Amino acid sequence: MHAHREFLDRLTPILQRDERILGLALAGSLAEGTADEHSDVDLVVVLRDAAYDEVMADRLGLIGSWTPLVDGFTGEHVGEPRLIIALVGPPLLHVDFKFVRISDLGERSGDPVVVWERDGSLARALAGRPATEAGYDAQWVEDRFWTWVHYGATKLARGELFEVIGFLGFLREVVYGPLAAELSGTAPRGVRRLETLAPDLAHALESTVSGYDATEAAAALVACVDVYRSWTDRLAAPPRRNELVVGLVGDYLRGVVGRFDIA
């Protein structure tokens, strides 16, 4: 944690000298007080609206002038083009710089911790609109889950084990991680920290992990269905099920895994 604080102490006065920047805030585990020595630094760099395009055009250059930049790239792959994902140092530190207009700061899923602000502008923007935390949409997942399972089963039937292994990881990230967060009352972040936050649920997910082995993959696909049904039955408002697709996909999956000797 010393490295995180030292980095912020160096960075903040540099940003204060740039009049285009209205403030700096922390998000993620540092803001929540759950960070450890391995945590990223999630930063929100708040800009004057009029300066936004100018700053966005030179983000990597600016970051390189603020701190020794080892590597950096934009965050389109995580759905956030305003983001620069960077390694700085040495010592190496992972820092996510998200650049936002002051007029957009109110649109957020959580409340960042203000590190520094110019003339109270961040506090006013945050106070003007409450955070809107996206909840778990059980029906959205249910409406997709069985077609996803059919897709995974076709890959197993074809013998594409790398595809199956990747698919199992996809389900853990998109389905089971958020569902476990809903059941345990924690923040949804895929399966991050699940072993610590909900060890009983993490233990149940062990059965959905497969090595490069067709029999293991078949057993993991079956376990995926079992875990999903068990967990969704525990929800206060379980989703509506299309029993036709559940039955047909279940028959198909049983036909595929029946080729393998699973317990």
Q: Could you report the per-residue pLDDT of 170-210, keeping only the tens digit for each?
A: 999 999 999 998 998 877 677 878 888 888 999 999 999 99
Task: Kindly state whether residues 191 and 122 are assigned to the same domain.
Answer: no
pLDDT band at residue 132 using 50, 70 and 90 as cut-offs: low
Q: How many CA atoms lie within 13 A of 115 on its CB side?
A: 25
- What is the three-class DSSP state of 200? helix
Domain range for 244 is: 138-257
Task: Kindly state whether residues 37 and 105 are assigned to the same domain.
Answer: yes
Query: Does residue 133 form part of some domain?
Result: no
pLDDT band at residue 219 using 50, 70 and 90 as cut-offs: very high
Reading phi first (left if > 0) and then psi (alpha if -120 to 50, else beta), residue 89 is in left
* pLDDT reported for residue 108: 73
Task: Kindly state whether residues 122 and 6 are assigned to the same domain.
Answer: yes
Cα angle vertex 163, ends 160, 169, to 5°?
A: 145
The larger pLDDT score, comparing residue 33 to residue 222, is at 222
Closest Cα to residue 12, out of 28, 1, 23?
23
Task: Kindly state whether residues 7 and 112 are assigned to the same domain.
Answer: yes
Task: Kindly state whether residues 189 and 253 are assigned to the same domain.
Answer: yes
Query: Does residue 227 form part of some domain?
Result: yes
Task: Kindly state whether residues 80 and 153 are assigned to the same domain.
Answer: no
Q: Which amino acid is at 94?
A: H
Q: How far apart are CA 76 and CA 90, in angstroms?
A: 26
CATH of the domain at 29: 3.30.460.10
Residue 146 pLDDT exceeds 80: yes
Q: Which amino acid is at 75?
A: G
The domain total for the chain is 2
Task: Kindly state whether residues 59 and 147 are assigned to the same domain.
Answer: no
Q: How far apart are CA 198 and CA 180, in angstroms?
A: 8
Closest Cα to residue 93, out of 69, 110, 57, 117?
69
Task: Kindly state whether residues 234 and 158 are assigned to the same domain.
Answer: yes
